[in-house]
Amino acid sequence: MPEALDRMVMRFHQLLEGRWLSPSRVFAMADENADGLVSYNEFSLFLKQLGVAAWWAKHGQDLFKRFDRSGDGVIDLNELEEAMTKVVSRANRKRTSRTPALTRKVDRQARLVALVAHRDMRGCLVHFVEQNLDFFCAVPLLATTGTAKALRRALGLQVDKKVTQGSLGGDQAIAAMLCEDKIAAAFVFKDPMQTGSASTGLGEILRLCDVYQVPYATNRASALGLFLSLQKFGASGDLSAAADDFPADLSTQRLPPRV
């Protein structure tokens, strides 16, 4: 029975990752009255809106009991995060022990593709990369040390350029590379429920992406669009071959030179 519950927790975790939802974001969205506690009915209503009502109807009661460590009929954020973290960490350790390093054929002429994530969103980033692994194996990748470690452990994927974690200067290092035209695109997995200094660094990265016209994505829908664009045009930065695919009034436009 515990193993079956662990599998259900992992499946729930995968459903959330596929929608770019961290446990903290899920909890905040389910907690309608903002009292810091979520009942089974609140959780069920939120998951119905999320589109997983049928799955939750089958497994929800057992899962909620697993989350409700205190047995008082409601869960708080710590209970949800602790229950999910234990199971996911255990599964990741098993997975890491049998994940070989991937063989990559990288286009060394291409600029870097940045993979940036808040700590709670790293699992979502890994899930997205795994879904599109052939592409990410073929382009030079940039990430913080924490994100690079998560990709290596889960997928055996080695990152080409690593910077220190954001709070220790990693965000500034990425910002500098944007200014130096070394980044072709950025996938930014940010937690919209997170505020403060952790969001400030990512905000500066996004601002500079806008300044230098570097395409970026911050949610699942825009990530898919960016991925399809990079898949078609590549990360070399040379869009001249794609000019015919743009409307005539746009294909002749040029960005002002950088100063």
Spatial distance between the Cα atoms of 140 and 78, rounded to a whole number of angstroms:
37
Round to whole Å and give the CA distance between 62 and 39.
Answer: 14
DSSP 140: -
**Tokens encoding 218:** 């911050």
Q: Which of 6, 171, 191, 249 is catalytic?
A: 171
> Which of the 8 DSSP states describes residue 183?
E
- Helix boundaries (H) for the chain: 2-17, 23-30, 40-50, 53-67, 77-96, 122-131, 133-136, 145-155, 170-179, 197-211, 220-233, 248-251
The answer for 20, left when phi > 0, alpha when psi is -120 to 50, beta otherwise, is: left
Q: Can you tell me the distance from the alpha carbon of 81 to that of 114, in angstroms, rounded to the nearest whole number? A: 27
Residue 171 is among the residues annotated as catalytic for this protein: yes
Under a CB-based contact definition with an 8 Å cutoff, are residues 126 and 146 in contact?
no
Question: Looking at the annotation, which residues are catalytic?
Answer: 171
